[in-house]
Amino acid sequence: MKYIHMLPFLDNEDLDELIEKILSGEVKGIKMMMLYPFLDKETIEKLVDHLIKENKSKDLIHSLPFISKEKINEIYDKILDGTLSDISEMALMPFLGKSKIKEIFKTFVKDAAENGVENNDEEEE
C-alpha cells in the first residue's frame, strides 16, 4: 500500500507529526504537495510560513490553491522585496484577488507612464 492512500484517514495530529518529520529530514520520499489537500487551514498556513522562511519555491507554488489570499499576497510581497527567489510573480496571478491584481496593474501603468515600458520579449523588433 502506498502512503498516499492512507492520508485521508490520518487525523490532524498524525499529519502534523508527518510534516515535522519531513521538514526535519527524518522522513524522505514523501512529496509535501501530496499532503496539502488533507491539512487544516492553520497547519498549512504554518507550513507555508516555514516554506517562505526556507525559500522553498517549488513547495510554495504547489501550495497556492490551498492557502488564503492573505498568505498569497504575503508571498507576492516577498517575491517583490527579494526575500523569495525562483518564483515568478506571474505564477501567483490566478490566485490573487481582483483588488490585488487591479493594484498591481495600476502600479504597472504608473511606472510605465513615469519610466516607459521596457519590452523584455523578443517577439517584436
* pTM for the full predicted model: 0.78
Q: HEC string of 52-89?
A: HHHCCHHHHHHHHHHCCHHHHHHHHHHHHCCCCCCCCH
Give the whole-angstrom CA distance, residue 59 versus residue 44. Answer: 12
Domain ranges of the chain: 3-115
Give the whole-angstrom CA distance, residue 105 versus residue 107. Answer: 5
pLDDT single digits (tens) 61-79: 999 999 999 999 999 999 9
Give the whole-angstrom CA distance, residue 14 versus residue 32. Answer: 14
* pLDDT band, residue 119 (cuts 50/70/90): low
Give the whole-angstrom CA distance, residue 77 versus residue 35. Answer: 25
Helices (H) and strands (E) in the chain, counts: 5, 0
pLDDT single digits (tens) 84-115: 988 888 899 999 988 889 988 998 898 888 88
Average pLDDT of the residues of the chain: 88
Single-letter code of the amino acid located at 112: A
pLDDT of 122 > 60? The answer is: no
pLDDT at 97: 87
Q: Which three cell numbers stand for residue 47?
A: 507550513
pLDDT single digits (tens) 19-44: 999 989 898 888 889 999 999 999 99
Give the whole-angstrom CA distance, residue 105 versus residue 35. Answer: 34
